[in-house]
Structure 1
Amino acid sequence: MGLEVAWAPSPAPWELQRQIGDDSVDFGLAVLSRWPIISARVWRLPIGGGVDLARIALGVDLQTPGGPLPVLTTHLSALRDGSWLRQRQVAVLGEALRTLDAGSRRSIVTGDLNATPDADEVRALTGGTSTPHVGMRFVDAWAQTRPAELGRTLDPANPHVSGDVPSGRIDYVLAAAGGAEARGRVRSTELVGVEPVDGVMASDHYGVLARLRC
């Protein structure tokens, strides 16, 4: 695709390999960018018991026409009763963001947080909780541009989603709310990957496309 790539493999891919029956497949996080990736760093997140996988966050600095842009992407615990664990993971994201952002208040956070917007772990990022949060407040791009729409990214209408999985919006693009650039930073959002291509759905989750002004 002609894009810059930062790739961070999962430190424990074997559970997903077992689930799909193929130990040759790797798993991890990636950032693809039209702009140069100046640097990349990986943070290990706390993990729980059972089949919960090792979790990481990947942070990069992009050299954009408007200057350096810190981007952090992650995939939090999928444990059904794991809000306590995801809150611990978000606390580590806070440490990562303080290092990555370095006071610029320009950071973008993306990923599958495995939690709906009213969950404490998400509210810790968006400033909706009185409990200690990450030290920065982020604007939920979907909520800012489409506040009346559910925007389910995990939807039983998707044939890859099993019937016992609760539906909801659990995938996010979050933009730092501090600084002079905050007003009007999020221009639009939409779901992508909601229709099959040649009979195949791209994922069990729909994607979130956000257009940001940097």
Structure 2
Amino acid sequence: MRVITQNVLGRQQDWPTRRAVLQAGFAELAPDVVLFQEAVVTEDYDQVRDILGDGYHVAHQTNRVVDGDVGSGISVASRWPLGVEREIDLRVGPRTADFPAGALVVDVQWDRPEPLLVVNHKPSWATDLEYEREAQAVTTARFVAEIVARTGQHVVLGGDFDAMPEAGSIRFWRGLQSLDAFSVAYRDAWELVHGQAPGATFAPSENGLVERHWQTDLDRRIDYLLVRCGRAGPTLRVAECERVFAGPVAGAWGSDHIGLMARLEVW
């Protein structure tokens, strides 16, 4: 099973050129499941289907951007049919009111008796909101844990987390610390394959699409694919994990974020 997480930057920054890069790239990569962030969905346009074409079942966040890049939000696409779709509102405090932070928790009816639980987690983006990202991580983790306690499903969690591996919210997801008297453990697909290699997914020093106010900031890894651990380690094997859309094609980047693709196997 090949899973990709990709922030697509809505329709900003010369969308017609970027559209061609993303369409060609996804056609070549042929993922089974895709977690999109900043994908535009309106009454008359679906950016996910525009990029992927036919052959995918799609779930969309209903709480989306209402100004700026109107309709921008998170989505999950799967070659397998989708079952139950759940949405979590992650506007956890007054500083998060201006952005539709949320999570999509979707049953994917893959070729196993129990559905695969796919979670697209998009917390607050602002650099100084790590306190809120910690609360958002706990909210999503508790929600997922309650489902898994009933069903025993495998869980793949991913998205644009807007936090580096050392941040409290990411340490929480990785099982390195508890928050709010609660703990979980998810294995970072990149780390399992590449150890401590940098693997930046937001690289102002390289990517000309990065907005000017970010261009003096760090290159950093803020996009993740994670596999939930049971009592004895990850329940799915991460066979490969690589960056995708990691450079320009004929001078054009697909997005201001570099995506990740992992190949996962059932033990």
TM-score, length-normalised on structure 1?
A: 0.87
Whether the 8 Å contact between 1:90 and 1:134 is mirrored in structure 2 is no
Q: Choose from 146, 158, 173 the match for 2:207.
A: 158
Moved more, 134-143 or 100-109: 100-109
The residue number in structure 2 matching 1:118 is 166
Q: Distance in 1 between matches of 2:118 and 2:191?
A: 20
Query: Which consecutive segments of 4 or more residues in structure 1 shift more than 6 A?
Result: none
Q: 8 Å contact 1:93–1:134 — kept in the other structure?
A: no
Higher helix share: 2
Equivalent AA in structure 2 for residue 213 of structure 1: E
Q: Can you list the C-alpha shifts for 1:68-114, whole angstroms capped at 9, x where unaligned?
A: 11011021111211110101111111222124433515211110110
Which of 132, 139, 158 is residue 85 of structure 1 equivalent to?
132
Rounded to whole Å, the distance in 2 between the matches of 1:54 and 1:7 is 13
Q: 2:134 is paired with a residue of what secondary structure?
A: helix
Matches within 5 A, 1:100-115: 100-101=147-148, 102=150, 104=152, 106-115=154-163
What secondary structure does 2:61 align onto?
Answer: strand
Contact 1:48 1:85 in 2 (8 A): no
Instruction: Judge conservation of contact 2:175–2:183 (CA < 8 Å) in 1.
Output: no
> Any unmatched runs of 5+ in structure 2?
1-52
**How far apart are 1:51 and its partner, in Å?**
8.3
Please name the residue that 1:55 is paired with.
101
Aligned to 2:240: 188
**More deviation, 156-165/29-38:** 156-165
* Change over 3 Å in CA distance of 1:179–1:130 after alignment to 2: closer
Q: Match for residue 188 of structure 2?
A: 140
Give the distance between the partners of 2:65 and 2:248, measured in 1 at CA: 30
Name the aligned partner's letter for residue 139 of structure 2: V
8 Å CA contact retained: 1:105, 1:177: no
Secondary structure of residue in 1 paired with 2:157: strand
- SS class of match (2:171): helix
Q: Is 1:90–1:121's contact at 8 Å kept on the other side of the alignment?
A: yes
Find the counterpart in structure 1 of residue 221 from structure 2. Answer: 169
Q: Report the secondary structure of 2:102's partner residue.
A: strand
Gaps of at least 5 residues in structure 1 are 18-24
CA contact (8 A) 1:105 1:178 kept: no
Q: Note if contact 1:6-1:31 (Cα within 8 Å) is conserved in structure 2.
A: yes
CA RMSD in angstroms, aligned pairs only: 2.2
* Aligned partner letter, 1:80: T
Q: Provide Cα deviations, 1:159-192, integer angstroms capped at 9, x if missing partner.
A: 1123133320000000011167836611110000
Q: Would the aligned equivalents of 1:105 and 1:176 in 2 still touch at CA under 8 Å?
A: no
CA distance in 1, matches of 2:60, 2:140: 18
Aligned to 1:70: 117
Are 1:127 and 2:175 an aligned pair? yes
Residue 47 (structure 2) aligns with: none
One-letter amino acid of the structure 2 residue matched with residue 7 of structure 1 = H
Larger deviation, residues 78-87 vs 173-182? 173-182
Partner in structure 2 of residue 21 of structure 1: none
Deviation at 1:198, TM superposition (A): 4.2
2: distance between equivalents of 1:69 and 1:135?
22
Q: Note closer, same or farther for the CA distance 1:85–1:104 as it changes in structure 2 (3 Å cut).
A: same
